[in-house]
Amino acid sequence: MMLSFAWPWLLLLIPLPLPLRRIMPAWKTAREAALRVPVLEDFMAPVGAQNHRPSRLRLWLAIPAWLLLVLAAARPQWVGEAVQLPLSGRDLMLAVDLSGSMKERDFVIEGERVDRLTATKWVAGDFIERRVGDRIGLILFGDKAYLQTPLTFDRKTVKTLLDEAAIGLAGKQTAIGDAVGLAIKRLQRSPDQSRVLILLTDGANTAGEVDPERAAEIASRTGLKIYTIGIGADRMTVRSLFGSQVINPSRELNERVLKALADKTGGRYFRAKNSTELAQIYQLLDELEPVEQESQLFRPVQSLYHWPLACSLILASLVLAIPLLRERP
């Protein structure tokens, strides 16, 4: 830790008032009326006190005011100890399905039955917080795919925007291919071995302009690894006019497409039938091997210029106020 200056060359301006005083003409003082008296001793004390003491006081205030002003202009700052940034070199994009089927309440969290999107937020939120050092982005898709958050180290913002997502916000249908295509576009500038997409859906591709299989081929050529998660219970008891019935709420889930997306890109397909399995899946995803990159050091810098600047302004105000105080009766 040390004290430094952002612009230390400005300290060369400290002696500037001396040459300016020689170059610039002196202020002309108004001539005072003279009084002829036979004895001068009685008038010397008050005249000296009036002419020299205030000017000398102003000088002693102006000097530190100028020094502090130059010091503030040089931008003093306190540089802290070097901190190593925890970078894994991985750019990770989350794609979350917001179609109408995500409102199915076939998940249980802490004894309460919730819809699929709420369970996703609950588990994925913890996953996002654990990915320290990764750049994370968020894609929401329904009828179309939308980039909600670009790649960023700000995990808190990504989690907040995921929590604010609502079912049907992007439409009622499911555009899986468009979500993959958007992820390819947003990750194309990332290093080849650090591109990862985690796609979570509970249905089949029913909308969009890009075919999922075609998107998988492009993703494979660009080095994008896709992990797919099929969410939804396979058995659920519902009540009807004819009594209780056991149904499959995930009958529309197209596991073949999700497996193909994962297999063609070197990823893996997961099936989450309940909140416990979903949490286990994200724990497995947490174990992705990071790409080694050179570590980066960061030194926190705290600006201190406002302290000498404030003191300089206070002293300058006193310098300007002294003549006004002299003129008061």
Predicted local confidence at residue 157, as pLDDT = 93
Phi-psi map region of 89: left, alpha, beta (phi>0 left; psi -120 to 50 alpha): left
Count of the separate structural domains present in the chain: 2
Domain presence at residue 294: no
For residue 290, being part of any structural domain is answered with: no
For residue 241, what is the enclosing H or E element?
none
In a domain, 291, yes or no: no
The structure's pTM equals 0.61
Q: 72 and 51, same structural domain?
A: yes
Residues 195 and 113 reside in one and the same domain: yes
Same-domain status, 92 and 75: no
Same domain flag for 151 and 69: no
pLDDT score, position 52:
46
Same domain, 105 and 240: yes
Identify whether residues 43 and 191 lie together within a single domain: no
How many residues can be counted in the chain?
329
> Residue 150 in 3-state DSSP?
strand
Give yes or no: residues 76 and 98 share one domain.
no
What pLDDT was estimated at residue 50? 47
pLDDT of residue 247: 60
- Asked if residue 125 and residue 241 are part of one domain, the reply reads yes
Q: Is residue 148 part of a domain?
A: yes
Q: What is the CATH number of the domain that holds 139?
A: 3.40.50.410
212 and 306 share a domain? Answer: no
Tokens read off for 240: 């009807």
pLDDT score of 49: 46
Contacting residues for 72 by C-beta, under 8 A, at least 6 apart: 305, 306, 307, 308, 309, 312
Give me the domain span that covers residue 67. 2-22+38-81+299-327
Q: Are 226 and 200 in contact (CB under 8 A)?
A: no
Give the position of tokens 């002419």.
Answer: 51
Angle at 23 between CA 31 and CA 316, to 5 degrees: 70
Q: Report the pLDDT value the prediction gives residue 67, as an integer from 0 to 100.
A: 93
Alpha carbon of residue 294 to chain centroid: 22
The per-residue pLDDT for 47 is 46
Would you say residue 30 lies in a domain? no
Residue with tokens 């970078």: 87
HSE-up of residue 14 (Cα within 13 Å, Cβ side)? 10
Q: Which element (helix H / strand E) includes 68? A: helix 53-73
Let me know whether 154 and 130 are in one domain.
yes
292 secondary structure, DSSP code: P
Q: What is the pLDDT of residue 30?
A: 47
Nearest in space to 108 (alpha carbons), one of 275, 248, 281: 275
pLDDT tens digits for the chain (329 residues)?
688 888 999 999 999 888 887 787 655 544 555 556 565 555 554 544 444 444 788 888 888 999 999 999 999 998 877 776 655 567 889 999 998 888 888 788 888 888 889 988 988 888 888 887 788 999 999 999 999 999 998 899 999 999 999 988 888 889 999 999 999 999 888 776 678 999 999 888 888 888 998 999 999 999 899 999 988 887 666 666 666 666 666 677 888 999 999 999 999 999 888 888 888 888 888 776 554 555 566 778 888 989 999 999 999 888 888 877 766 65
Strands 2-5 and 76-79: antiparallel
Q: Are residues 245 and 113 in the same domain?
A: yes
What is the distance between the alpha carbons of residues 149 and 137, in angstroms, rounded to a whole number?
A: 5
Specify the pLDDT at position 291.
Answer: 46
In a domain, 220, yes or no: yes
Evaluate whether residue 28 is within a structural domain: no
Sign of CA dihedral 210, 253, 172, 117: negative
Q: Clarify whether residues 92 and 70 are in a common domain.
A: no
